[in-house]
Structure formats: structure tokens, C-alpha cells
């Protein structure tokens, strides 16, 4: 039986990827390596209970022995690396975990994979891929009229999160250049969709709106992000894994630049339509709060290379993807309730104390 090994497969994008991967006919089995931090949630994968094609290992990517043993046991034909500390605001309050997981963890994983790859036969070596899932935030912040990020844009990370991801991208690049490891890197824009932890903008706004809480917009609300539906990110990753050229990087984006205020307004309008309040609009709950320190003003992705070279295009527009997302949250309130554990509440209290 053929396997792929996925790290961080209990998180938002990793779990969406695992679910969509195993929904394909004839898909390889998945070895899912996840530490289950506050962001990991096995309930997201509940539909795979009893499915022998999903092998879950609660392991830390900093644990070399655990990685060696999983690689040896399952001999995956590819490693897809999603595991990371991923929330910018948390990285500002406490960068240490970001250094540990995103840099030391990626290094440890690369070392384990380097040793595993060295022992593969020629045919297995030719087929093997290490796909590193990264972010557009490594490119820093754009001015209002700057061109979008391309694969050749210089790195200029501004937060501890993006700096730690940039460091991991550099390590991955170096393992190709120095050791010949067949790596692929994707740099994707902001994702949204089902199973998104409600500390990030879109699920936080939906959750707060439904609970009658303020909708905290940082600063003037005019920071711009380029949004991509998570299912489209997963299809891009499958495409890059299948046909990407080792050593290359691919920008992934939805061609959807929106200000945060636009996003929040659209969410409120969708909720007004789908679950109207007794009186007034969800927009009445919008509250401008203190800005994030070092808040990047604008991200924008040119995903042209992926379209030209691999024929990938997003299936969802922002409007269709956001509507699906709001509908998913409305019909999966129990998932949200479960996620909002004590840990999450402590974090929210600290973040929004002011
Ligand atoms: P997430 O925070 O929802 O999930 C991260 C997962 O990694 C969790 O399941 C967590 O338990 C696991 N994890 C954390 N530390 C670990 C460790 N030391 N060992 C093993 N597992 C560990 O993140 P996400 O939003 O799903 O992001 C996944 C990847 O995609 C990250 O690498 C992130 O940088 C990248 N990315 C995210 C976005 C986005 O908008 N969310 C956009 C572009 C790229
Ligand atoms: P976020 O979802 O944290 O993603 P990232 O910082 O990685 O882009 O935030 C998206 C945007 O929304 C970002 O400009 C910060 C802003 N934001 C708010 O205005 N209020 C909030 O409560 C959160 C979490 C984010």
C-alpha cells in the first residue's frame, strides 16, 4: 500500500487536505503526524474514524526519533509539511513556539527526510517529493499600488510568524540545493473555509456575530488580504505535488484582494440574509480596536505561474466561497462550541483585554 505523510493534518488546512485527499478514488493512505496543539482538532477528522487509510500519530515534528520510526514503518512516497504555529497575533505575544515548531521542527523533519531519502532505491528516489506549505507573508507588506508578489519577490518578513516561516522556506531551499532533496514549496495567501479555528479573522467574526459579541476590526480596517477558499488551496497542493518541478516555488492565491472591513461587511450581510437578528444588522456589532503591532498593510499574490505551468485555477470566487463558509459555520455550531475550549477562552481574554 502506498502512503503519503502529512504533518499538521489535524489543523485547518492540513485536515481539509487529508479529507479531500482521501475522497479521491485510489488515493494513497495518509500518515497524519500532528502534535495536537490548541489548533489541532481530531473532531475535524471524525468522518475518517475506522478508515484504515488514515493513520494518525500524535507526534511532534521536533521529535527526530518519532519521525524516523514513522518514515521507516510507512515508507511514504511524499511528505507534505503543513505543521506550524500559524497565528500572527500569538507570535507577537510569544514567539518562542514559532521558532521551535516552524524553524527547529522543519529542520528536524528535513534531517529525518534527508536520511530516509538517502536510503531509497533509484525509482523511489525519482518519485519522492517533499512539499513545504508556506505563506505569502514571507514577502512582507505591499503599498497600495505595488505589483502583486511573484515567486521572485524578495523575502521581507515582518512578524515573528512570517520570519519563522521565511526561515523554514530557506532551509527547505537549502536542502534541495545542497543535498538534492526533491522539494516543492507553495506560498499561499490567506485561506478561509470549514474547520477554521475561530481566532482568525473570518471564523472569529462569524462566531462573535452569532454570539452577539463585538466584531473587533484592527486599526482602520483597511489592511488588504488576498483570500483563497481552503478547498482551492488543497487542489493547488495536489497539483504541485503531482506535476511541480523539484526546487521550484509556486505562489497560490485567489485573485481576491479585500480590505478587512469589506470582508467583515460581506460576512455581516450574509448573516443578515441567512440568520437575521431579531432587530438591526450584524454590522451594528462592528468595533474598531487597537491595531496589531507591525500590522502588514497589504498582501497580494500573482498566481500566474501556477496557472501557466500547471493549469491550476481556483474554483471558488470570494462570493461563492464565503457563502459556503458561512453556511458551514451555521450548520456546524457544535464543532465551534467544542473548539472554544478553556484554552481558547484564555487566549481571547488576553488578546482582547484592552
Ligand atoms: P493551524 O494552526 O490551523 O494548524 C497547524 C497544525 O499543526 C495543528 O493541527 C497543530 O496541532 C499542528 N502542529 C503545531 N505544532 C506542531 C508540532 N511541533 N508538531 C506536529 N504538529 C504540530 O494552521 P493552518 O492554518 O492549517 O496552516 C497550515 C500551514 O499552512 C502552516 O504551515 C501555515 O504557515 C500555512 N499557511 C496558512 C495559511 C492560512 O491562511 N491559514 C495561509 C498560507 C499558508
Ligand atoms: P488573520 O486571520 O489573523 O490572518 P493574517 O494576520 O495571517 O493575515 O488576520 C487577517 C486580517 O484581519 C489581518 O489584517 C488582521 C485582521 N484582524 C482583525 O482586524 N481583527 C481580528 O480580530 C483578527 C483576528 C484579525
The CATH code of the domain that includes 325 is 3.40.50.720
Distances (CA, A) of 264 to 213, 258, 282, 323: 14, 10, 10, 13
Cell (9 digits) for 27? 488515493
Per-residue pLDDT at 353? 76
Mean pLDDT calculated for residue range 196-213: 97
- Flag whether pLDDT at 139 surpasses 70: yes
| Ligand 1 lining (C-beta closer than 6 Å) | 7-8, 10-14, 34-37, 39-40, 60-62, 82-86, 101, 105, 133, 135, 165, 188, 190-191, 197
With cut-offs at 50, 70 and 90, classify the pLDDT of residue 235.
very high
Q: What number of CA atoms fall less than 13 Å from residue 90's CA on the CB side?
A: 18
What is the C-alpha to C-alpha distance for residues 272 and 274, in angstroms, rounded to an integer? Answer: 6
Give the global pTM: 0.97
- What is the overall mean pLDDT for the chain? 96
Distance of CA 97 to the CA centre of its chain: 17
What is the C-alpha to C-alpha distance for residues 287 and 285, in angstroms, rounded to an integer? Answer: 6
Q: What number of CA atoms fall less than 13 Å from residue 310's CA on the CB side?
A: 23
Least confident of 136-140, 220-224, 343-347: 343-347
Domain range spanning residue 260? 3-353
161 is catalytic: yes
Q: Which atom of ligand 2 is nearest to the CA of 135?
A: 7
Mean pLDDT calculated for residue range 111-124: 98
Residue nearest atom 9 in ligand 2 by C-alpha distance = 201
Cell (9 digits) for 328? 458551514
Mean pLDDT calculated for residue range 248-266: 97
Q: Which residue intervals of the chain are DSSP H helices?
A: 12-22, 64-74, 88-93, 96-98, 106-118, 122-127, 160-179, 201-210, 230-243, 260-274, 304-310, 318-331, 333-339, 342-351
State the DSSP H helix or E strand holding residue 3, giving kind and residue range, or none if neither.
strand 3-7
Mean pLDDT calculated for residue range 301-325: 98
Total domain count, the chain: 1
Q: How many other CB atoms sit within 10 Å of the CB of residue 345?
A: 10
- Flag whether pLDDT at 347 surpasses 90: no
Phi, psi of 23 (to 5 degrees): -75, -10
Per-residue pLDDT at 354? 58
Q: Given the C-alpha cell 521551535, which residue does it identify?
A: 100
Distance 259 CA to ligand 2 centre (A): 11
- Flag whether pLDDT at 340 surpasses 90: no
Mean pLDDT calculated for residue range 38-67: 96
Per-residue pLDDT at 103? 99
179 is catalytic: no
Write down the catalytic residue from 34, 60, 136, 232. 136
Mutate to test the pocket of ligand 1, among 85, 86, 164, 225 (most ligand atoms within 8 A of CB): 86
- Flag whether pLDDT at 57 surpasses 70: yes
137 touches 190 (CB < 8 A): no
Per-residue pLDDT at 141? 98
Between 95 and 43, name the one with better pLDDT: 95
Tens digit of each residue's pLDDT (9 = 90 or more) over 70-103: 999 999 999 999 999 999 999 999 999 999 999 9
Least confident of 33-47, 122-136, 328-342: 328-342
Amino acid at each position: 500500500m502506498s502512503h503519503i505523510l502529512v504533518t499538521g493534518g489535524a489543523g485547518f488546512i492540513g485536515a481539509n487536505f487529508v479529507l479531500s485527499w482521501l475522497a479521491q478514488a485510489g488515493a494513497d493512505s495518509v500518515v497524519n503526524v500532528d502534535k495536537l496543539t490548541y489548533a489541532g482538532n481530531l473532531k475535524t477528522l471524525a468522518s475518517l474514524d475506522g478508515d484504515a487509510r488514515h493513520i494518525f500519530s500524535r507526534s511532534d515534528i521536533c521529535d527526530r526519533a518519532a519521525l524516523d520510526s514513522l518514515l521507516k514503518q510507512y515508507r511514504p512516497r511524499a511528505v507534505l509539511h503543513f505543521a506550524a504555529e500559524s497565528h500572527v497575533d500569538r507570535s507577537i505575544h510569544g514567539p518562542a513556539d514559532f521558532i521551535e515548531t516552524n524553524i527547529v521542527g522543519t529542520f528536524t523533519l528535513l534531517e529525518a527526510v534527508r536520511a530516509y531519502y538517502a536510503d531509497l532505491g533509484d525509482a523511489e528516489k525519482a518519485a519522492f517529493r517533499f512539499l513545504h506549505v508556506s505563506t505569502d507573508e514571507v514577502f512582507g507588506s505591499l503599498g497600495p499600488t505595488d505589483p502583486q508578489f511573484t515567486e521572485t519577490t524578495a523575502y521581507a518578513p515582518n512578524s515573528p510568524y512570517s520570519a519563522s516561516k521565511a526561515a523554514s522556506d530557506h532551509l527547505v531551499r537549502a536542502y534541495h540545493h545542497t543535498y538534492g532533496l526533491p522539494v516543492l514549496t507553495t506560498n499561499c495567501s490567506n485561506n478561509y473555509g470549514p474547520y477554521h479555528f475561530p481566532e482568525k479573522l473570518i471564523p472569529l467574526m462569524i462566531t462573535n456575530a452569532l454570539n452577539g459579541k463585538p466584531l473587533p476590526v484592527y486599526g482602520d480596517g483597511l489592511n488588504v488580504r488576498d483570500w483563497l477558499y481552503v478547498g482551492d488551496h488543497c487542489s493547488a497542493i495536489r497539483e504541485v505535488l503531482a506535476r511541480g518541478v523539484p526546487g521550484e516555488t509556486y505562489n497560490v492565491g485567489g485573485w481576491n484582494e479585500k480590505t478587512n472591513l469589506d470582508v467583515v461587511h460581506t460576512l455581516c450581510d450574509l448573516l443578515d440574509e441567512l440568520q437575521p437578528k431579531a432587530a438591526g444588522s450584524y454590522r451594528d456589532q462592528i468595533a474598531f480596536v487597537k491595531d496589531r503591532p507591525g500590522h502588514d498593510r497589504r498582501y497580494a499574490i500573482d498566481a500566474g505561474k501556477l496557472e501557466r505551468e500547471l493549469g491550476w485555477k481556483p474554483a471558488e470566487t470570494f462570493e461563492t466561497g464565503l457563502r459556503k463558509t458561512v453556511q458551514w459555520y451555521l450548520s456546524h455550531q457544535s464543532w465551534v462550541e467544542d473548539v472554544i475550549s478553556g484554552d481558547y477562552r484564555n487566549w481571547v481574554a488576553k488578546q482582547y483585554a484592552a
